[in-house]
Structure 1
Amino acid sequence: MKQNKLTVGKTNIIGITGGIGAGKSEVLKYLGNKYNCRVIYSDQVANDIKKKGYPAYDELVSLLGKGILGEDGEIDKTRMASAIFNNKDALESVNNILHPAVNTFIINIIDEEREKGQLDFVFVEAALLIENGYKRIVDELWYVYASEDVRRVRLKESRGYWDQKIDDIFKNQLDEKTFRENADFVIDNSSSLDEMAVQIDIKLGEWVK
């Protein structure tokens, strides 16, 4: 058991990560409803910073051209996906724009909430927390675990994915050993939501409302 790094009376920053299909969204939904916190979804941040008025918008349009814009002048997700489809160089360039911009945006939110000091927690969700160096930013990193079999069933039922697609996704994500080595706390989300909730409430007993 790793040492608890959380402190009562301050805004604790917790990173939430895990493989696709592990149920991070359900964990975050529970946390958001139960605790005095703010939840930051990296995917939502990535969408926000592609809007007009943000630096990433201008950089992406400059890189990929105005063909990625919809009638409203905003970046159209489908058109942008088409522009980088099967183009590894373009995808790498897009990631080089988005990843630093997302990190900066999230760090700014963290700094603001720490300055306000009104929340017990800020939870940051991202599949690439470890790869993007968030262990240096968060107080603790939590790994949401579910067995591979459970994740496969969930992905087939919720997203209509097939085995080959799931295999390809799994190959491009960190393995369980790496997740566990970097995690300060592991939530086993292979079973029911109630069992998941019990683990969290035991961990955060001092903050349970």
Structure 2
Amino acid sequence: MAIQVTATALPEVKIIEPQAFGDARGFFYESFNARDFTEHVVGGFEFVQDNHSRSVKGVLRGLHYQIQHPQGKLVRVTEGEIFDVAVDIRKSSPNFGKWVGVHLSANNRRQMWVPPGFAHGFFVVSETAECLYKTTDYWYQAHERSIVWSDPAIGIKWPIDLEPMLAAKDAAGKLLADAECFA
């Protein structure tokens, strides 16, 4: 897997850009290779679940995390474009409460590695978007938590010019100051 890995302002969060090989017929690239991921991104994780979501323009999902059974997520987009966000919610981190965001799209083929200990969310920029993401642990509804997307203490600069469409659990998300966080 020929990849370029770029650190973000949050050193544990990485942007991964696989090399695509294309010609008049189309293109090919490896979207995941365990050996290269371990060598170039981070080791010690095994992916156990693949998720696929489809959303329309204006949908905002997140900011999600699991307080027990925390999940690392490798996120990519196969249709459309999203603004993908990770927030450090580890109280012992010097970056606690800080965020990073990047545009992921089918065209740029970027992926974002969101490690355990971070909340994750995204906003759909295009008419529709399909996201695929691998997780390092299973989903447990009892342990899922949500931080409100608009928490002023975090101050995410979402590319939003409308009121986003939210799931009920996301609209009821807590402020970071009131949320259960990691040590």
TM range (shorter): under 0.3
Q: TM-score, normalised by structure 2?
A: 0.24
Q: Bigger relative contact order, structure 1 or 2, given CA contacts below 8 A and separation 6+? A: 1
Structure 1 or 2: larger strand share?
Answer: 2
Q: TM-score, normalised by structure 1?
A: 0.22
Pair member with larger Rg: 1
Structure 1 or 2: larger helix share?
Answer: 1
